[in-house]
């Protein structure tokens, strides 16, 4: 049985993951509007991944006998200065999500909820990857000031990203 304190924190995280998906879709729309379809595609895949994360937590709450409580998702930003400012916000956002996950782990430890702690370790590892990917994207953009041939080449590379949901055992 899921304890109420953990249930509340997990429900907040479902909302945070859904907001992340919404935020990344907004970025995708912006990037498409400035003719960076590869970047836009990469962000759509990122949004899909965040929806997967939300549903993974959603299912865990149900599996543990908890109750899902969905709340309003705030409106995301819709304009950025340039592609580098988008990448900076992606990296900052992933750091925020890492802190949110770490806080839930702390609560699970305080509450001696070993099952939730175990479940969240997948997200801890996932956030290492998310931060690394977003930092690498930002650093690559900074190498060529987000302009010119480098931007064209990176846009083309990002168009190849696909989303493959992790297997059940992961």
**pLDDT at residue 170 in the model:** 52
Superfamily of segment(s) 4-158: Ferritin, core subunit, four-helix bundle (1.20.1260.10)
Q: What is the pLDDT of residues 12-26, one digit of tens each?
A: 999 999 999 999 999
The answer on pLDDT for 168 being more than 70 is no
Distance CA 110, CA 113 (A): 8
DSSP state at residue 161 = -
**Are the beta carbons of 24 and 47 closer than 8 angstroms?**
yes
Choose among 40, 155, 137, 43: nearest CA to 91: 137
> How much is the average pLDDT of 24-37?
98
Query: Tens digits of per-residue pLDDT, 99-156?
Result: 999 999 999 999 999 999 999 999 999 999 999 999 999 999 999 999 999 999 999 9
The pLDDT, as a whole number, for residue 141 is: 98
pLDDT at 75 exceeding the cut of 70: yes
Mean per-residue pLDDT of the chain = 96
């Amino acid at each position: 049985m899921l304890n109420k304190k953990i249930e509340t924190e997990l429900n907040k995280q479902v909302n945070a993951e859904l907001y992340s998906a919404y935020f990344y879709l907004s970025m995708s729309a912006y990037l498409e509007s400035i003719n960076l379809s590869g970047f836009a595609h990469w962000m759509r895949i990122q949004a899909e991944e965040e929806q997967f994360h939300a549903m993974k937590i959603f299912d865990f709450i149900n599996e543990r006998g908890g109750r899902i409580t969905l709340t309003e998702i705030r409106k995301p930003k819709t304009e950025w200065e340039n592609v580098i400012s988008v990448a900076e916000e992606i990296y900052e956002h992933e750091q925020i999500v890492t802190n949110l996950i770490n806080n839930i782990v702390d609560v699970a430890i305080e509450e001696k909820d070993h099952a939730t702690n175990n479940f969240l370790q997948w997200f801890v590892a996932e956030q290492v990857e998310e931060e690394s990917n977003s930092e690498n994207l930002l650093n690559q953009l900074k190498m060529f000031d987000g302009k010119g041939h480098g931007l064209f080449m990176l846009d083309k590379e990002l168009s190849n990203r696909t989303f493959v949901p992790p297997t059940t055992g992961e």
